[in-house]
Amino acid sequence: MAVRRRTTLVPGRVGRFRRAAIVSLAVLIGAAPLQAQPAAAPPRQPNIVILLADDWGFSDVGAFGAEFATPNIDALAQAGMRFSNFHVAGSCSPTRAMLQTGVMNHRNGLGNMPETIPDEHRGKPGYDTVMNHRVVTIAELLRAAGYRTYLTGKWHLGSDPTRLPTARGYDRAFSLADAGADNFEQRPIEGMYDKANWTEDGKPATLPKDYYSSRFVVQRMIDYIEAERKSGKPFLASINFLANHIPVQAPDSDIARYAAMYQDGWTALRAARAKRAAALGIMPAGMPIVTMPTTPDWQKLDADERAAAVRTMQAYAGMATAMDREIGRLVAHLKATGDYDNTIFVFLSDNGAEPTNPFSSRRNRLFLGMQYDLSTANIGRRGSFAAIGPGWASAASSPLSGYKFSAAEGGLRVPLIIAWPGNAKIRAGAISDGLAHVTDILPTLTELAGVKGHGGSWQGKAVEAVTGRSLLPMLGGAPGSVHGDTPLGYELSGNAALFRGDYKLVRNLAPTGDGKWRLYDLKSDPGETRDLAAAMPERFAAMQADYAAYAKANGVLDMPAGYTADAQINRYAFEQQGKPRLIRLGLWAGGIILAFSALVWSWRRRRRARRVDQAKADMVGA
């Protein structure tokens, strides 16, 4: 019979046994395969919302110095970072192509636009006037990384089926192929286009009866986002407003909000905005500013001219506020759906304020008067056609020099806000004064989203390399610019610039310049008031050499003698389109009728005079 041996555990040994068991169990658990543990969900990639304003000047946002209300854009500024030294192109399409691709405009096909290119440059390399097929868009990159991609509003980068948004990486798009259109109805800018070329997903589209541009592009974007929410994928939402492009139009209530403002004129407004920009820390206090030679003297306008000008600026302010309200509606929607904190917002303008005066020629005044109600009371309303012109554009660009089309700071420097409310990578409420460029937006967004770039090759073919640099160090608070002392060139319609560190080499053609090169220190003189070319001859010569190298590398062409963008736009309107042939015929016929009427009136007057003379003679003879 086997005897069972009893083991007696004393209290001290019990404790040691339990500890050993626990240690052994922990070792076994630690050695277990990792896949046995529940997998942690990967962090969700951020949504991206690009808010692109049209023709907003540097101080056309409250957070940059504007007097009109933009509370929702201002809120994004407080949630993110403002860039006070951010540059784009002097016209819309080149900026839009650089924003989409991160590639300089001559390499992406927009060496010039359809409306401003001289005939001598058409078809030359880099002067496609549409975004070429040698570049990759941000939509293509993000869609390949699992994003939903949507675009609404102005496109202006090509209208054939291979160049519309849905052919360039966007899943859904309701877009306008033209430079601008009416804001209240499906109507083109009369004289520029035969029709308003709106398409949805590549097919001709019809606008709703209650259409107003800013409201529509935001609502359609919300519809796109919600239609595919169940996919769980992050989204890219590119919203491209028509505000505040010509024609300046706004809802009556928004215009009425500013009924008591702008009576003192554009010169007073320019000074007031400069003071506010300095108070906000956007511009240096007490910086000198120029009076632009194209700015009319407010005091020399008659009462009717002033009344029309005041009403136009009231409509412009109303148009901006209406756009801001729609941005607020989008933000409120994203907050309600829980998307707001994980959404990157980018707000910018495509160029400086629009100075063109469509009524500067008798021909234009005659034609526009036949197409629109140009009465002062109707300015800004449905059926109107208005533009702020060089006077108010000088205020919208304050305190900078120049405006749209020019290479002066007022043409190239615009507001930029980048915000990611739920992420600490961006310093909330901060201002960066380091040089930044529109080509930097794409690499910044792809880095923030953790999306790999294309590296000069895409889907088996060579493509143009991204020239921009990620702004992430600046967003985190690093001083200075990611561009350092590297030269950064620019040219459009003969107006050119070369940035290097704090210095800028610039040349502007008429009407905003004389074609001479000048040198400015933008750190101390962002208003471009002191030419340093004579004081710094070595830097001046070195930067001219830098520009020559840029121009050669990018295939920049010299402009024909006598070229101006304004003249070319008018030539395009009256010579390049089919409809203006009828316009010219109508004007020609109208001229003949007027001339014939004048001849008949003169003949009748002479006939009456002869009758009077004959009657007098008869009385004398009697």
Angle between the N-to-C axes of helices 389-396 and 266-279, in degrees from 0 to 180, rounded to the nearest 10: 10
CB of 236 closer than 8 Å to CB of 48: yes
Q: How confident is the model at residue 604 (pLDDT cuts 50, 70, 90)?
A: low
Give me the mean pLDDT over the 226-231 stretch.
97
d(CA 497, CA 508): 9
Asked whether residue 584 is domain-assigned, the answer is: no
**Bridge partners, 442 (sequence order):** none
Q: What is the Cβ-side half-sphere exposure of residue 306, based on CA atoms within 13 angstroms? A: 13
Give the phi and the psi of residue 518 in degrees, each rounded to 5: -135, 160
Indicate if the pLDDT at residue 4 is higher than 80.
no
Distances 581 to 58, 111, 578 between C-alpha atoms, Å:
38, 28, 6
Tokens of 251: 């809802």
CB of 213 closer than 8 Å to CB of 183: yes
pLDDT for the residue 240: 99
Question: Each residue of 130-179: pLDDT tens digit?
Answer: 999 999 999 999 999 999 999 999 999 999 999 999 999 999 999 999 99
Q: How confident is the model at residue 609 (pLDDT cuts 50, 70, 90)?
A: low
Question: Each residue of 442-460: pLDDT tens digit?
Answer: 999 999 999 999 989 999 9
pLDDT for the residue 228: 97
pLDDT for the residue 82: 98
The secondary structure of residue 466, as a DSSP letter, is: P
Tokens of 122: 């058409």
Alpha-carbon 317 to chain mean position: 17
Distances 427 to 3, 47, 81, 167, 338 between C-alpha atoms, Å:
79, 19, 6, 36, 22
Q: Establish whether 156 is a catalytic residue.
A: yes
| Sign, Cα dihedral of 210, 213, 218, 222 | positive
Instruction: Please provide the size of the chain in residues.
Output: 622
Residues whose CB falls within 8 Å of the CB of residue 113, separated by 6 or more in sequence, listed in order: 91, 92, 93, 94, 129, 156, 179
pLDDT for the residue 27: 35
Q: How confident is the model at residue 124 (pLDDT cuts 50, 70, 90)?
A: very high
Asked whether residue 104 is domain-assigned, the answer is: yes
Indicate if the pLDDT at residue 589 is higher than 50.
no
Asked whether residue 578 is domain-assigned, the answer is: no
Asked whether residue 235 is domain-assigned, the answer is: yes
Choose the catalytic residue: 87, 92, 245, 454.
Answer: 92
d(CA 495, CA 492): 5
Question: Each residue of 395-438: pLDDT tens digit?
Answer: 999 999 999 999 999 999 999 999 999 999 999 999 999 999 99
Indicate if the pLDDT at residue 581 is higher than 90.
no
d(CA 527, CA 252): 35
Give me the mean pLDDT over the 580-609 stretch.
54
Tokens of 97: 């192509």
CB of 178 closer than 8 Å to CB of 196: yes
| Sign, Cα dihedral of 391, 393, 396, 401 | negative
Range of weakest confidence among 291-300, 302-311, 357-366 = 357-366
Helix (H, G, I), strand (E, B), or coil: what is residue 270?
A: helix
Asked whether residue 616 is domain-assigned, the answer is: no
**Bridge partners, 235 (sequence order):** 148
Burial label, 582 (beta-carbon count in 10 A; 0-12, 13-18, 19+): exposed
d(CA 252, CA 369): 22
pLDDT for the residue 30: 39
Tokens of 54: 């049209």
Q: What percent of the chain has pLDDT over 70?
A: 85
Indicate if the pLDDT at residue 613 is higher than 70.
no
Question: Each residue of 184-193: pLDDT tens digit?
Answer: 999 999 999 9
CB of 569 closer than 8 Å to CB of 387: no
Give me the mean pLDDT over the 60-74 stretch.
98
pLDDT for the residue 607: 62
Read off the CATH number of the domain in which 547 is found: 3.40.720.10
The stretches of 497-578 forming alpha helices (DSSP H) are 537-554, 565-571
d(CA 394, CA 50): 26
Burial label, 357 (beta-carbon count in 10 A; 0-12, 13-18, 19+): middle
d(CA 432, CA 437): 13
Q: Per the omega criterion (within 30 degrees of 0), is the bond before 234 cis?
A: no
**Bridge partners, 485 (sequence order):** none
Residue 350 parent element (H or E): none
Give the phi and the psi of residue 161 in degrees, each rounded to 5: -55, -25
Q: How many CB atoms lie within 10 A of CB 350?
A: 28
Task: Provide the domain limits for residue 257.
Answer: 47-554
Distances 249 to 3, 317, 360, 449 between C-alpha atoms, Å:
106, 10, 20, 37
Angle between the N-to-C axes of helices 71-79 and 303-336, in degrees from 0 to 180, rounded to the nearest 10: 50
Q: Which residue has the tokens 């090759």?
A: 457
Asked whether residue 475 is domain-assigned, the answer is: yes
Choose the catalytic residue: 87, 106, 121, 156.
Answer: 156
Tokens of 572: 């395009």
| Alpha-carbon dihedral angle through residues 424, 429, 430, 432, given to the nearest 10 degrees | 110
d(CA 314, CA 291): 23
Indicate if the pLDDT at residue 22 is higher than 60.
no
Question: Each residue of 84-122: pLDDT tens digit?
Answer: 999 999 999 999 999 999 999 999 999 999 999 999 999
Domain count, the chain: 1
Relative to beta strand 203-204, strand 198-200 is antiparallel
* Pick from 411, 493, 567, 410: nearest CA to 113: 493
Asked whether residue 196 is domain-assigned, the answer is: yes
Q: Establish whether 106 is a catalytic residue.
A: no
d(CA 270, CA 7): 98
Q: Rg (Cα) of the chain, in Å, rounded? A: 31
Tokens of 108: 């992406």
Q: How confident is the model at residue 2 (pLDDT cuts 50, 70, 90)?
A: very low
Asked whether residue 454 is domain-assigned, the answer is: yes
pLDDT for the residue 34: 38
- Give every strand in the sheet of 47-53, ordered side by side: 203-204, 198-200, 172-176, 148-154, 235-240, 47-53, 343-349, 416-419, 81-83, 430-432
Alpha-carbon 130 to chain mean position: 17
pLDDT for the residue 569: 84
